Structure 1
Amino acid sequence: MNKQVKRELQSLSLKIAIVLVTGGIMMGFILGVAVVPDDAMDPAVKPGDVVLFDRNQSNLINRDVVVLYRNQQKTIRRIVAVEGDCVDITEAGLVINGYVQQETQITHKTKAYKEGISFPITLEPGEIFVLGDIRSQVEDSRIYGPIKQADCLGRVITVIRRRGI
């Protein structure tokens, strides 16, 4: 093997190593990946879809779709309220700070669960309230209450559809 080919192979090997290390750092500290386990967020995100999420939890806001770790698996839910908000569920539906929420992506009426938490509830500093988009059959904050923002793994930034592949 001549010296030029050897140098080019070494250069290529170094570039591949840099890409792999950079990718590993990004996936370990900046980004994460999860496979959607259920249909709680249908039609926005469907079972089997792969989501890429940003691990930075400092700027989570209302309507962000987030990845949580519940019951030994990653789950996907939508933030409907953040710290300081008063959450209530009435006959009119989901009420945040006294205003009935107009949620165009929700196809089922939001109801409280009998076995769930009591309403109204005001979120403490660092808490978020999450719901699934299919409100009639999902385990979410109506059951387990508000969650700590720090317990959220991150905000979904990309959905990769796996159906039909």
Structure 2
Amino acid sequence: MDQEIKKQEAEQQPDVQKSALRELWEFVFDLVKVFVIAAVIIFPVRYYVAQPFIVSGSSMEPNFYTGQYLIINELAYHLHDPQRGDIIVFKYPKDTSQYFIKRVIGLPGEKVKIENNHVIIYNQQNPNGFTLDETYLPSTTQTLPVGNGITTLGSDEYFVLGDNRIASSDSRFWGPVPRNDIVGKVLIRAFPFQDFKKFDSVNYQAAQP
């Protein structure tokens, strides 16, 4: 009797080992499948739709501070052109290995004039110009011109300024940003969590100068 029981146990042991091995392979296969699916989803999102950007410098204060973590929408400008007021990340025209964050002020074909602490835009709709009402800036902000303060933009050029106008290297100093150098639009300020904010389009109220 004992011999029969031992024989049955010996016959069952390989089946138990096979079952455990099969479960291990199924687990490994499921794990690989999860990683593949995640890669298929995350890779295009990370490289073609949205990517992180960490703020460095004071040029966009008080709206952005060094160390804040932003999510950039890279897909947006494949669907439409940058709009006035958009906060963008772009390649610095003088050194495309560097990335800057600024606000779009002037659009292609427009003339931008900085005068009396104001930004004035001239275009086909407003040949006499209109002054931007920049409500996102502190009332004490000083917008000072460089040179004669006038920039005429080409068909694919954008005039950008930092929100911290007295501490920003921007289009006043090194000229417009070519369309092809724009990486994407700031979508979300994600970190620190207490500073979380989604950024929408700016609705400017135009006032005649």
Name the TM-score, length of structure 1 as normaliser: 0.86
The residue type equivalent to 2:119 in the other structure is L
Is 1:44 the equivalent of 2:69? no
What is aligned with 2:110?
A: 85
Is 1:110 the equivalent of 2:135? no
What is aligned with 1:31?
A: 50
- Report the alpha carbon displacement of residue 105 of structure 1 after superposing the two structures with TM: 1.5
Q: How does 1:130-145 map to 2 (within 5 A)?
A: 130-145=160-175
- Tell me, yes or no, if the aligned pair for 1:88 and 1:96 is still in contact at 8 Å: yes
- Tell me, yes or no, if the aligned pair for 1:37 and 1:74 is still in contact at 8 Å: no
The alignment yields a C-alpha RMSD, in angstroms, of 2.1
Change (3 A) 1:77 1:49: same
- Tell me, yes or no, if the aligned pair for 2:52 and 2:69 is still in contact at 8 Å: yes
Q: How far, CA to CA, are the matches of 2:49 and 2:193 in structure 1? A: 27
- Report the alpha carbon displacement of residue 11 of structure 1 after superposing the two structures with TM: 1.9
SS at match of 1:136: helix
What is aligned with 1:67?
A: 89
Deviation per residue, 1:91-126 (Å, 9 max, x gap): 151111211111111121211135xxx432221111
Name the TM-score, length of structure 2 as normaliser: 0.69
Instruction: Report which of the two has the higher share of helix.
Output: 2
Consecutive unaligned residues of structure 2, counting only runs of 5 or more, are 1-19, 123-128, 195-209
Q: How far, CA to CA, are the matches of 2:56 and 2:193 in structure 1? A: 14
The residue type equivalent to 1:106 in the other structure is L
Question: 4+ runs of 1 displaced by more than 4 Å?
Answer: none
Q: How far, CA to CA, are the matches of 2:168 and 2:48 in structure 1? A: 30
Consecutive unaligned residues of structure 1, counting only runs of 5 or more, are none
The residue type equivalent to 1:99 in the other structure is F
- Tell me, yes or no, if the aligned pair for 1:36 and 1:74 is still in contact at 8 Å: no
- Tell me, yes or no, if the aligned pair for 1:34 and 1:74 is still in contact at 8 Å: no
Range 82-91 or range 7-16, more displaced: 7-16
> How many residue pairs get matched?
161
SS at match of 1:40: coil
The residue type equivalent to 1:37 in the other structure is S
Instruction: Report which of the two has the higher share of strand.
Output: 1
